[in-house]
Amino acid sequence: MAKEKLICSNCRKIILYEAKRLTSPEVVCENCKKTTPVSARAVAKFVRTAPRKLRLVADLVRGKKVKEAMTLLKFTPKQAARILLKVVESAKANAENTYQLDSDRLVISGIYVDGGPSLKRFMPRAMGRAAGIKKRSSHITVKLEQRAGLGAVHPKEERSSDRSKRALASKKSTKSTAAQKHETGEIDGTKS
């Protein structure tokens, strides 16, 4: 079986593994004994669309859940969206079939559009001149990862809610002593 490569997120060493023998969506590094999440990917090469046009659509879906990204791509009125949709669907199929990842928890961790070879043509211009035309092509790479808790609260949101709770607690504790005595019925040290 063919071995695949993965770079350890902790020690940056290359890990070799077989995708068919994975029992979980993580690989353990032999050097540092830490786990690194496996990412499924799909590549489309020599796509006859300029990278600049594809990158506009790729920026829309980068970092999103796969289901949300596929819906966005279906309803984006650009030719590049249809091309990227096919690559995302291919990466999703690879994740489900090769790596046995849960399709509901997949996230687009990386989407790259690199320039491919350009076809060089010319356009005749006035007075016997010629202007160059480059018909560009692209290479598209989509990487998907399975995230653990997609339904959980984002850490930044969690921190802001903690701050508001602390602010409420500090407001309650900063009441003046006179106001506290008035609420409890004590005035000038005597209870009424």
pLDDT at 76: 95
Q: Is the dihedral of CA 124, 80, 38, 21 positive or negative?
A: negative
Of the candidates 32, 76, 35, the residue with the CA atom closest to the CA atom of residue 54: 76
Of the candidates 82, 80, 66, 68, the residue with the CA atom closest to the CA atom of residue 144: 66
pLDDT at 68: 96
pLDDT at 156: 47
Of the candidates 19, 48, 143, the residue with the CA atom closest to the CA atom of residue 90: 143
Tokens representing 21? 């023998």
Pairing between β-strand 130-135 and β-strand 190-191 as defined by DSSP bridges: unpaired
Q: What is the pLDDT of residues 32-58, one digit of tens each?
A: 777 777 788 899 999 999 999 999 999
b/e 132-171 (16+ beta carbons within 10 angstroms → b): eeeebbbbbbbbbbbeeeeeeeeeeeeeeeeeeeeeeeee
Q: What's this model's pTM, rounded to 2 decimal places? A: 0.68
Phi, psi torsion values for 10, nearest 5 degrees: -95, -55
Which parts of the chain sit beneath pLDDT 50?
151-158
Q: Does domain 39-146 have CATH number 3.40.50.1100?
A: no
Domain-wise residue ranges, the chain: 1-37, 39-146
pLDDT at 36: 75
Of the candidates 146, 139, 26, the residue with the CA atom closest to the CA atom of residue 95: 146
CB 5 within 8 A of CB 15: yes
Tokens representing 31? 């050097």
Of the candidates 66, 46, 61, the residue with the CA atom closest to the CA atom of residue 114: 46
CB 90 within 8 A of CB 109: no
